[in-house]
Every structure is written in structure tokens, then in C-alpha cells.
Amino acid sequence: MNSRLDAIFARRSIRSYKDMPVGDEAVKDILEAAMAAPSAVAKDPWDFIVVRDKTLLAKIADILPNGKMIAHAPLGIIVCGDIGRAHGGELSYMLQDCSAAVENMLLAVSMLGLGACWLGVHPRPERISRLKTMFSLPENVIPMAAVAIGHPAEKIEARTRYDEKKIHHGKW
């Protein structure tokens, strides 16, 4: 692994958190990094719901079968996309833009010494519907993902999943 890319290789999915709050400055830094992501035609169709309330985090965990750790995180961020603000009103562009924002968040979290886990919401209709109801989202806003964030209570070594068999030069 190239040491100049350590920030990327060190980013791992963290599912266990210490009982410590994530400060407002760190939250702003994370969201600023998210909004620095590339976006088709600079439409920036993303919105973010910052959740610190333990009752709400537990309800989010109930909606996400593989996201139980968000109930034990001090912070959750729901990443939403506004289809009306996406390039050409296209769902695919909205999802790509919001995914880029999530990846920037994950890298920022790791670089700040915190831990995070990306939890999928879209395309599961029941997850989308329940989160839309829980947060009273407008019709044109789609919850795309949730991110559990906190001070890591586990250490996972940096790694790469580089696989030469998945690379094609000039043709398949």
C-alpha cells in the first residue's frame, strides 16, 4: 500500500463506539467535507439530518436490519437527496452525488480520529418510507443512507482489497 494514500486505506467500517460525544466542530468538519464532494453539474442535491438523540438513534436502528450499531453511536447522520435538485431530476445522478458525499464523510471521520459505518437505506422501500415518516421529509427528498459516527471502541488495521483479476486493460 502506498503510504501517501494512508488516509484511504485506514478508513474502515467501525461498528463499536465509546460513550463520548462527537463535538460540534467535528460535525461541521465532517459535513463540510461531505459538501466538498463532486456533484453532476454542481447541483449538490444533498441534505443531512444530524441526529444525537438516543431515542431517535434507536428508532433508526430498528429500521436498518444491519445498522444496529447506530443505536450505540453518539451521532448519526441521515444523508438525503432532493430529486428535484439532482441533475436532470435523475435518480441516478442524485445517488451518485450523495454517495460521493458519504465517502467524503467517511474519509473525514477517519482522518479526524473518529469511526463510522455507512448504512444503506436506498433502494429499500420500507426503509425509505419509515425514515421519510420519522423525519417528515418532503415528497421530493429521499433518504439514501445513514452513517453511524463516534469515537472508535475498536481498532481495525488498514488494508486494501486490490485484486488484479478485476482490472481490464483496453478490453474485457
Gyration radius of the chain over CA positions = 17
Cell numbers at residue 131, please? Answer: 425514515
- Cβ burial 87-126 (10 Å sphere, 16+ → b, else e): beeeeebbbbbbbbbbbbbbbbbbbbebbbbbbebbeeee
What is the per-residue pLDDT for 60? 98
Residue 147 cell numbers, joined: 452513517
CA angle, 134 then 140 then 146, to 5°: 45
- What residues does each domain of the chain span? 14-154
Residue 103: pLDDT band by 50, 70, 90 thresholds? Answer: very high
Whether the CB-CB separation of 148 and 61 falls below 8 Å is answered with: no
Grid cell for residue 108: 473525514
Is it true that domain 14-154 has CATH number 3.30.420.40?
A: no
Residue found under cell 469515537? 151
69-96 pLDDT tens trace: 999 999 999 999 999 999 999 999 999 9
Q: What pLDDT, in 10s, does the model give residues 7-51?
A: 999 999 999 999 999 999 999 999 999 999 999 999 999 999 999
% of the chain with per-residue pLDDT over 70: 100
pLDDT of residue 55: 98
Q: How far apart are CA 29 and CA 166, in angstroms?
A: 34
pLDDT of residue 152: 98
